[in-house]
Every structure is written in structure tokens, then in C-alpha cells.
Amino acid sequence: MFKQIDKKLQLATCVAAVMVVLSFQETAIGAGSTNTNNDAPVNSAFEKLDANHDGKLNIEEVAPDKDLTENFVKVDANQDGAIQIDEFNSYKSANEQKQIVAFLDDSALTAKIKAELVKDNGIKGLNISVETHKGEVILSGFVENNTQIRRAIDIATSIQGVQSVKNGLLIKG
């Protein structure tokens, strides 16, 4: 039984690694560049925001992107009051990498919790679904009694990195 769990965890790890590689390739390909006169960005996301087509973004132009608006001063690395395409790409790339890391962290938490649930003699995985987002875990499904609910919650909260556990488990019957 533990060999099956190990194989599933290895498969999940491989899938996550492939997703990371593909995401980084997409980021590198989609990062865009400028043409030889450095005035016309090729990056379509940047171009969509660059309303006046001057090759830089001012605070009014980034207004549709809430995250970019909130971080304008931070993104404007050279502090010239405008975001250049290289500043834009650096920020967006770093942001995407943070999202990937967060996704992988959540996936790892989910895998650890599921593995512990399967190993537990009182639960043995039963029909418990585990979902994780930003360290917040939601347990759902059906169990036999309150003891199993408490045990599933205890297992989930014992995993390092879990911020909170929401119980959606129901007793069969």
C-alpha cells in the first residue's frame, strides 16, 4: 500500500516539475522584447496597456491592472515615473514565479495530508477530499463518525505549512 502512495507522490512531483518547466518556458517566450529602435514593444500585454504607444506605461495606463497599479513605485525600478518594458517584464515574471511556487507549495501540502490520511488506521483515506489554497486546507467528503472528523482535522493541522483547516466532512447516514 505504501508503495502505491510513494508512486503517486512521485507522479505528482513529476507533474509539478513539468508544469514549472513549461511555465518558465512560457514566461521566457512571452516575456517579449523590443525592436531594434527600442520604441515598439513586442509584448502584447504591455502593448495593451500602452494606450499612447510611447513604449512606457504611466500610472493612468496601468489602472486596468490593479496589482501593477498598487506596485507602480516598486515596479518603476529606475524611478523615472514610468514603467519600461524591461521593468514590466521583470515584475510580471517574478510575480508568475511566486504564483508557481505557491501552487507547488499547496500541491505539496495536499499530497502530504492525503498520504497521512491514507496511512492512518482510523481513517485510511476513506472518501476525504483535500483542497489547498495559500496554505488554507478544506476537507470534504463522508466519514463514519465524529472521531474520524476530529482525526482528519488533527492530521491536516499537524502538517507544517498548513495555515488553517476548514471542515466540510459529513457523517454518513
Instruction: Report pLDDT for 126.
Output: 64
96 and 17 in one domain? yes
Q: What average pLDDT does the segment 125-147 reach?
A: 90
How far apart CA 23 and CA 108 sit, in angstroms, is 18
Give me the domain span that covers residue 160: 120-171
68 and 13 in one domain? yes
* CB of 110 closer than 8 Å to CB of 103: no
Beta bridge partners of 170: 142
| More confident: 32 or 163 | 163
144 and 86 in one domain? no
Determine the angle formed by the axes of helices 146-158 and 85-119, rounding to 10 degrees.
140
Instruction: Report pLDDT for 98.
Output: 83
DSSP state of 81: S
Whether 2 shows a pLDDT value over 70: the answer reads: no
Instruction: Report pLDDT for 13.
Output: 54
Q: What average pLDDT does the segment 78-89 reach?
A: 93
Query: Around Cβ 122, how many Cβ atoms within 10 Å?
Result: 15
96 and 29 in one domain? yes
| Among 9-23, 62-76, 125-139, the least confident range | 9-23
